[in-house]
Amino acid sequence: MNTGAIIMFAFGATLLWGGLVVTLVLASLKSKNAKESYSEDVSI
């Protein structure tokens, strides 16, 4: 691939895939409910 294409690939991958990883890590760190069941929370 040419340099421009490689740079834009890195740009897209970092923002989209990297951004997704950051949000997933944040979810697992911050939220107690990140992976757990909603079953105990039935208050609507």
- Which 9-28 positions form the footprint of another protein (CB under 8 A)? 9, 11-13, 15-17, 19-20, 23-24, 26-27
CA distance 19 to 21: 5
CA distance 34 to 28: 5
Smallest distance from the beta carbon of 24 to another protein, in angstroms? 6
Q: Are 34 and 28 in contact (CB under 8 A)?
A: yes
Residues making contact with another protein (CB under 8 A): 1-2, 4-9, 11-13, 15-17, 19-20, 23-24, 26-27, 30-31, 33-39, 41-44
